Amino acid sequence: MEKVFKFPDVGEGIAEGEIVQWLVSVGDVVKEDQALVEMETDKAVVSLPSPFSGRVISLKGEPGEIILVGADLVTIETEPKTPSAASPKPEAPPKKEKKKDAGSVVGVLETSEKEFVLPIHQKASQERSEGEVRAIPSVRMRAKALGIDLHTLVGSGPDGRITREDVEKATRQLNPVDSTTTSVLGPVERIPFRGVRRSAAKRVSESTQKVAAVTFVDDADITKLEQVRLNKKGLAEDRGFNLTYLPFIIKSVVAGLKAYPFLNATLDEAKEEIVLKKYYNIGIAIDTPEGLMVFVLKDADQRSILDLAQEISALTEKAFSRTIALSELKGGTFTLTNYGVIGGIYGTPIINFPEVGILGLGKIEDKAVVRAGEIVIRKMLPLSLTFDHRVIYGSEAARFMNTLIEHLEDPDLMLIEGK
């Protein structure tokens, strides 16, 4: 009997995905729950398991192709056809060998030698077997399609990881003419609009079309906070991670959200209701080699500064290695974006719809400011708050920012190890 495995809804409104690579081939015998294909969906790479056992009859789509939810992916023959009358009756195999087919009109089905492991283990095994080449599956597939040997490249990503940009650059160097096309005004290069960049574009387009965005800016004096961070830095290093400013900012943001709950909300236009969230899941936007991602720190109000720092470190590594789960990219109620680590003071960050607020963090600098009538040097953090004016008044946004700054400037209001 032939059964068709369709691209399932992998969660929270995912409508489509891009095939990264097939993990099986036509003719392979697969077991229930064995991974069939890796799909890139809404910034995460997920492996889709087979819902039944059998032999692969056909695969739909090629790597790089966009597949809609509900479309056919794999056809599997779950039962061998009935032997013909002329066929000799096969000997009954021992019970422990029951999974092997002794013979039928389709021949003997050989067990696939491919073994599925979780992506993080797969990455490690690939690195061991391929001479320490570090690259995610989609980059490997792109390199294969372009004829680029990954062993010849030096990765520009974290820990020497090879990125898609490294592969594209190598292609341009090897084929400076073939990698471009000619327009009326001169040579151009066409790059597929796929993956993380495409997902991010859809989100920001939706946000700009639906949100009445306003940006409010201010500065926080974090001179005292810097001393606290340096004093507690050793505690984090002993546990194997860094203590940055982000955990302190998150706790300060949560204090502001609790004081002004309309910033921790969504707007249900269909029901004409503002939905105030009573939980605090803070999204962190980060710049990865594959593009912008936002992972979510769940229940940030119940976490200590050190707990948050540890999870930020772990999720950042997952995001860069593309082993992050969809559940770790979903469910946010408010987002932070730290463009200051790259450069820049103020900005107009785009709200991560359907949230109603996002806080942009500028470059931290020592600046001359006036305190008690005297010019002194203080460590200053520029802040840019974009909010949805349909839900939040400007006065609320300003007061939220005041509460945030109050906590940043007085670290005693925040607990370091407790909740």
Distance CA 197, CA 13 (A): 18
Cβ-contact 4, 59 below 8 angstroms: no
**358: which residues sit within 8 A by CB, 6+ positions away?**
334, 335, 336, 337, 349, 350, 351, 352, 385, 386
| 6: β partners | 72
Contact 99, 119 (CB under 8 A): no
- Distance, in Å, from the CA atom of 37 to the CA atom of 48, rounded to the nearest integer, reads 6
Please name the residues in contact with 36: beta carbons below 8 A apart, sequence gap of 6 or more: 5, 22, 23, 24, 30, 47, 48, 49, 50, 56, 73, 74
Alpha helices in 191-222 (DSSP H): 195-210
Q: Give, for 311, the enclosing helix (H) or strand (E).
A: helix 305-321
Using alpha carbons, select from 360, 357, 334 the residue that is nearest to residue 348: 360
Residue 135: HSE in the Cβ half-sphere, 13 Å Cα cutoff = 28
Q: Cα dist. 286→202, 339, 342 in Å?
A: 17, 9, 11
Laid out side by side, the sheet with 44-49 consists of 44-49, 35-41, 16-22, 66-68
SS3 14: coil
- Can you read off the two tokens belonging to residue 112? 């696939």
Residue with tokens 């799909």: 39
Active-site residue among 121, 151, 389, 407?
A: 389
Reply yes or no on whether 151 is catalytic: no
Kindly give the interhelix angle for 305-321 and 246-259, rounded to the nearest 10 degrees.
Answer: 110
What's the chain's Rg over C-alpha atoms?
26
Among 395, 408, 304, smallest CA distance to 361 is for: 408
Q: For residues 366 and 377, is the Cβ–Cβ distance under 8 A?
A: yes
Both structure tokens of 289: 């080699």
- Its sign, for the CA torsion 81, 84, 90, 92, is positive
Catalytic center residues:
389
